[in-house]
Amino acid sequence: MIRDISSIRNIGIIAHIDAGKTTTTERILFYAGEIHNPGNVDDGNTVTDFDPEEAQRGITIYSAAISCSWRGCSINIIDTPGHVDFTAEVQRSLRVLDGGVVVFSAVEGVEAQSETVWRQADGFKVPRICFINKLDRIGANFERVVGQITDRLQGVPLVLSIPIGSGPATNSDGFTGIVDLLRMEAVYFDKESKGREIRREPIPAACQDQADDYRTQLIESVAMLDEAVFAVYDETGDIPLADLNRLIREGTITGQFQPLLCGASLDYIGVQPILDAVVDYLPSPLDVPPVEGRHPKKESVEIRKPNEDEPFAGLVFKVQVDEHSELYFVRVYSGVLKSRSRMLNPRTGERELISQLWKMQADSRVKLDEAGAGDIVGVVGPKTSVTGDTLCEANQPILLESITFPETVISMAIEPETSADRKKLEETLKLLAKQDPTFRAKISEETGQTIVSGMGELHLEIISKRMERDFHLKMRIHKPRVTYRETICKAVEFEEVFERQAGATSLYAMIKLRAEPLESAQSVVVENKMKPGAFPAELTQVLIQAMNDESKSGGTVGYPLMNMKLQVLGAGFREGETNEIAVRAAAASAVRRVLDDAGVMLLEPVMKLEVVTPNDFVGNVTADLNSRRASILNTGLRGNLVVIEAEVPLSGMFGYSTQVRSLSQGRASYSMEPLRFAPAPDSVLKTMLGE
């Protein structure tokens, strides 16, 4: 199989909820010829929102992969959710994508989740283009949004098109088309043909001055990237189109700026230029650095180039499960993956069967015999792999960087209605946890109830409904509650000696342990600080694993531990008396004693909150937030609405959606996302300890 990898584009459509991601994706598929009649989100008939919950609620919940072709390029698109409860879907999609299209509403502008997905794209160094959508709406303001991308996101928008008019087209100055600043032409999209027929005309006089200003900014920004081109610009005052496109592509891929386009996807205006920009400016797999990993045993750095002659390496970035099957989404970074082959999972050391390969088209599939470097495919066959795992050739192993996900912040108890459903519930929860890395389930030791944890009330509601609908489980669901964390208050050192007589056998192990709090938010870190050879190597592995296991069992109150480092400073052993049992027992006891000596602090999830409300209700909203222990950081204007930014403990925010509607006569909206874990009031811990 010989393919032109330079013609592949792997992109994500990312944005805040209701900015128009799914509608834009639907129009892209329509113009690319993948569908003949574009659907609408409100009607629940779009290609990528195929899940019943998505269709019913009119929001994207699960990232959906789909492919299309444009100007000879194969474009793999992932339409991602915009709701903060499903931010993990964005996280794992960006991990394997080469480029992104960030959609902004011309009315709301840069919103809370816009900032989150932008930061995620920054973290993965994903080149992106911007699309300002909904310019046909009342209150649309193109220049305000461009300014917000610069000020709030620290982006560098390179404006390639500007709107002709603004607001509903029925107005005399409504939005009717765009000005293409590269060719300096007005572009109109015929409504009768759903935008397929395009007219190019001279720029209207009312837009000429603005177009000239933006064209000058565009030329000057691009000319700075190439001395020879700058010399041409200095002499002639212009740059040839071919040089413009070449340098825009170069600056986009290196992250120096983000090309910015505009339109109204619902009205079929300005979508084809997005496809042109994806082809012209976003990178192919050949334009991004080769993927790096490490050898699972030698700890050496391994590199895989996007070439089909290289050894195969791929990353599992999503697992989709139902009652009968598991589908693994894999990004192929190098080599060729063939059906009916076996590939190594270096994390587990097991070889996974690749029984089937599929090209994914949302909820439909096309069977493949093989997939090459740059492809994103569905795989059926693996059994033990999870999100973030590497698949590679057994004789050329590589362990790619995995995917990290945020901590869960909310929990609720669920119980099967009949004892016969208990085992089925347990199996279902395992499947759902495999699909969703931000979903957790465990049995409470005190009550025997099953506790499930997730990223928000909507997240857990969607999962509970899915268990009823797809897995036919009848359950009793209790009210959600906050998922706290525990950490230690101070650094301590402790030496634990374990000695016990078990029949005729003597058991002995000594461990010297240091624990200290960490400032950065992370799970427990266990380090081996013993001198080489001071303790038998096979028992050292047992010791470190036992420390990890014990730290995961929770703190004094039973909540997971975090922000803590455990260091093994030394260990003692006796021939014939120190074995795995003694080491595990000593490790467990040492960790418990260290927690007692260091003192435990309870941490509660603090959320970043943004409330958008008419000015008449600001007093009501802020008074209510103060009663919820919120810290109001800033208030500002977004059009004729007031934006309140605050930090607030999650424990005070249950039922807030109903309350904020009541306080504002249904006119305020809000978005909330996890920010950090912070010390909870002493009274909360005392209540839990029964003091």
Q: Which of 33-47, 205-219, 417-431, 523-537 has the highest mean pLDDT?
A: 205-219
Please name the residues in contact with 682: beta carbons below 8 A apart, sequence gap of 6 or more. none
pLDDT above 60 for 415: yes
DSSP symbol at 16: S
Q: Which residue has the higher pLDDT, 42 or 11?
A: 11
Task: Give the per-residue SS3 of 402-457.
Answer: CCCCCCCCEEEEEEECCHHHHHHHHHHHHHHHHHCCCCEEEECCCCCCEEEEECCH
pLDDT for res 278: 97
Query: How many Å separate Cα 466 from the centre of its chain?
Result: 21
Short-list 193, 199, 185, CA closest to 27: 193
Which residue type sits at 107?
Answer: V
| Of 210 and 40, the one with more pLDDT | 210
Query: Span 96-114, mean pLDDT?
Result: 90
pLDDT above 90: percentage of residues in the chain: 44
Does pLDDT of 60 surpass 60? no
For 597, phi then psi, to 5°, come to: -70, -40
Q: What is the pLDDT of residue 477?
A: 83
Spell out the domain ranges in the chain: 5-281, 291-400, 410-478, 485-598, 603-689
Give yes or no on whether 410-478 and 603-689 have one common fold: yes
The SS3 call for residue 286 is helix
Instruction: Summarize pLDDT for 196-244 with one digit per residue, the tens.
Output: 999 999 999 999 999 999 999 999 999 999 999 999 988 888 899 999 9
CATH superfamily assigned to domain 5-281: P-loop containing nucleotide triphosphate hydrolases (3.40.50.300)
Q: H/E element holding 272?
A: helix 272-281
Amino acid 291: pLDDT = 93
Work out whether the CA dihedral 335, 337, 343, 344 comes out positive or negative.
positive
- Longest CA–CA span in the chain (Å) reads 100
Q: Is 90 exceeded by the pLDDT of residue 129?
A: yes
Please give the pLDDT value at position 637: 86
How far is it, in rounded angstroms, from Cα 626 to Cα 303?
53
Whether 339 and 370 have beta carbons less than 8 Å apart is answered as: yes
The string of pLDDT tens digits covering residues 555-564 is 878 888 888 9
Topology classification of domain 410-478? Alpha-Beta Plaits (3.30.70)
Lowest mean pLDDT among 267-271, 299-303, 517-521: 517-521
Q: Which residue has the higher pLDDT, 206 or 323?
A: 206
Question: Between 427 and 156, whose confidence is greater?
Answer: 156
* CB atoms near residue 638 (< 10 Å): 18
Query: pLDDT at position 56, please?
Result: 63
DSSP for 14-53? EESTTSSHHHHHHHHHHHTTS-SS---TTTT--SS--SHH
Q: What is the reported pLDDT for 127?
A: 97
By the 8 A CB rule, do 308 and 1 touch?
Answer: yes
Distance CA 277, CA 273 (A): 6
How confident is the model over 58-85, as a mean pLDDT?
Answer: 79
Q: What percent of the chain has pLDDT over 70?
A: 94
| Residues 566, 528 contacting (CB under 8 angstroms) | no
SS3 314: strand
pLDDT at 285 over 90: yes
Give dist(CA 467, CA 428) in Å, integer: 8
Q: Answer whether 297's CB lies under 8 Å from 362's CB.
A: no
Predicted local confidence at residue 431, as pLDDT: 87
- Distance set, CA 125 to CA 70, 99, 288, 689 (Å): 25, 9, 10, 45
Task: Note the CATH number of domain 485-598.
Answer: 3.30.230.10
How many Å apart are CA 207 and CA 152, to the nearest integer?
27
Confidence (pLDDT) at 85: 67
SS3 197: coil
**pLDDT for residue 456:** 78
Q: What average pLDDT does the chain have?
A: 88
The amino acid occupying position 239 is: I
Task: Summarize the confidence of residues 42-58 as an average pLDDT.
Answer: 60
Architecture field, domain 291-400: Beta Barrel (2.40)
Going by pLDDT thresholds of 50, 70 and 90, the confidence category of residue 464 is confident
What was the pLDDT predicted at 90?
Answer: 82
Residue pair 9/278 in contact (Cβ under 8 Å)? The answer is yes
pTM to 2 decimal places? 0.76
How, if at all, do strands 376-380 and 128-133 pair? unpaired
Nearest Cα residue to 389 out of 293, 289, 522: 293
Per-residue pLDDT, averaged over 442-470, amounts to 80
Confidence band of 666 (pLDDT split at 50, 70, 90): confident
d(CA 518, CA 601): 13
Residue range 17-43: mean pLDDT, rounded: 84
Residue that wins the pLDDT comparison between 103 and 79? 103
Q: CB neighbours of 11 closer than 8 A, spacing ≥ 6?
A: 75, 76, 77, 78, 97, 98, 99, 100, 101, 278, 282
CATH of range 603-689; options 1.20.140.10, 3.40.190.290, 3.40.50.300, 3.30.70.240: 3.30.70.240
Q: What is the pLDDT of residue 266?
A: 92
| Mean of pLDDT values over 41-45 | 63
Can you give the pLDDT at residue 62?
Answer: 65
* pLDDT at position 354 over 90: yes
What is the per-residue pLDDT across 590-646, written as a single tens digit (0 to 9) for each?
Answer: 888 888 888 888 999 898 998 989 899 999 999 999 999 999 999 988 777 899 999
Chain position carrying tokens 């329509």: 30
**Dist. CA 331–CA 605, nearest whole Å:** 33
Tokens representing residue 308 in the block: 């089909």
H or E stretch at 151? helix 142-151
